[in-house]
Amino acid sequence: MENLTAFIANAQGEPSAWPLLELVPHDKPMSLLDEVVRVAPGELLAQVTLHRDSVFAEAEGVPAVIGIEYMAQAVAACAGHAALSVGGKVQLGFLVGTRRYRSNCAFFPLNETLWVHVKELVQGDNGLSVFECRIRSERVDISANLNVFQPEDPAQFLAQADA
C-alpha cells in the first residue's frame, strides 16, 4: 500500500477559494465531507474525520460502502469548484455507476481521518464523466471508478424523468 504521506502529497492543486458547503448541492447532515484540502482542474482532495456521531456510524464504524458517497461528494465538489471558477453556479449531478470497487475493509474506523481523492479520467460533451477515486487512511485503502452525469439543465432533466 502506498505511503499515506505520499498519497496526500501527490494530489495536485491549491486550497479551494470556496468552503465545501458552497461547492456541493447538499446541506448538513447529508454533506458528509469535512473539507476540501486541494483542488485543481479535474482533481480534488478532501477529508472527513469519522466520529461516533457521524452520519451512518455504527458500533464497528461507518460501513465502507458509504465510501462511494464520499467519493461522489468529492466529485460534486470538484464540479462545483469548476463551475464557480468560471462564474457559473453549482449544478445537480447524478451518480450513474461504480466500477472496479476495491476495499480492504468492511468498516471505516471511528476517530480516523479519511483522505478522498478524485481525478477526472474522461469528460464527454454529453455531460457524462468518469472519475478515478481513492479513499486512504493509515488503515484504509479503497478505490473505484465513478461514472457521473451532469445535465446541462438539471430542472428540465428531472421534469422529463417525471413525465
- pLDDT tens, residue by residue, 56-68: 999 999 999 999 9
The three grid cell numbers given for residue 144, joined into one nine-digit string: 473505484
Q: Is the per-residue pLDDT at 133 higher than 90? A: yes
**Residue span of the structural domain in which 13 resides:** 4-162
C-alpha cell at 108: 471505516
Hey, is 114 helix, strand or coil?
strand
Distance (Å, rounded) from C-alpha 46 to C-alpha 39? 9
CATH of the domain at 76: 3.10.129.10
Cα–Cα distance measured from residue 39 to residue 47, given in angstroms and rounded to the nearest whole number = 12
What's the pLDDT score for residue 128? 94
Helix, coil or strand: residue 92:
coil
Q: How far apart are CA 68 and CA 98, in angstroms?
A: 8
Instruction: Read off the pTM.
Output: 0.93
* Triad 22, 26, 28: Cα angle to 5°: 95
The number of folded domains in the chain is 1
Split at pLDDT 50, 70, 90, the class of 163 is low
Does residue 97 register a pLDDT over 70? yes
Please calculate the CA angle 35-73-6 and round it to the nearest 5 degrees: 55
Nearby residues of 138 by Cβ (< 8 Å), 6 or more positions away: 4, 112
The answer to whether the CB of 115 falls within 8 A of the CB of 8 is yes
What pLDDT is stored for residue 1 in this prediction?
Answer: 60
